[in-house]
Structure 1
Amino acid sequence: MPVPFEALIPLGLITVFFGASGVLFQKLKTSVNEGQPPRYGLDRWDRVMMERDYRLTGTQRGQTHQSAAPAGFSTSSAWNLETEHL
């Protein structure tokens, strides 16, 4: 039995739209991560290093090659300070 060609048009459209949405979603995730692939399975060490990188460079994916931290790094502590309540 032959396949009616009318059924191939919606099948092709569905395939194209699912493929296009998958590619666009992957490009969006890559652009959010500054061109790097997304990170999976992050443990505490990875999160701490991401916070350190953010304080050093201003981005979570950025890394610096400088051996000494910039002057503002000493005042941008990762520790949360308590505020006094009156």
Structure 2
Amino acid sequence: MPVPFEALIPLGLITGFFGVSGILFNKLKTSINEGQPPRYGMDRWDRVMMERDYRLTGTQRGQSHQAAAPAGFSTNSAWNLEKEHL
């Protein structure tokens, strides 16, 4: 029994919309991660290194090629300090 051609139009629309939405979602995730693929399964070490990269370069995915850290890196610590209450 042949398939009526009227059924192919909705099938094409549904397939097309799923394809377009998948491509747009992939481009959005890539643009959020500065053109690199998203990271999965990050542990504490990865998060600490991302925080260090953010302090060095200003972006979480950016890395510096310089051998020495900038002068301000020693003072912009990630630790939050509290004032002493006496």
Flag whether TM exceeds 0.5 (same fold): yes
Matched, 1:64 2:64: yes
Unmatched 5+ residue regions in structure 2?
none
Structure 1 unaligned spans of 5+? none
| Identical-residue share of aligned pairs (%) | 88
The 2-side partners of 1:10 and 1:38 are apart by: 33
Instruction: Give 2:28's aligned residue.
Output: 28
- So what's the TM-score if we normalise by structure 2? 0.94
Runs (4 or more) in structure 1 with deviation over 3 Å come to none
User: What do the CA deviations read for 1:48-78 (whole angstroms, capped 9, x no partner)?
Assistant: 0000000000000000011111011111101
Distance 1:4 1:62 in 2: 54
Distance across 2 between alignment mates of 1:54 and 1:60:
5
Matched residues, number: 86
Higher relative contact order (CA 8 A, sep 6+): 1
Q: Partner letter of residue 2 of structure 1?
A: P
- Tell me the equivalent position of 1:13: 13
- Distance in 1, Cα, partners of 2:5 & 2:22: 26
Aligned to 2:78: 78
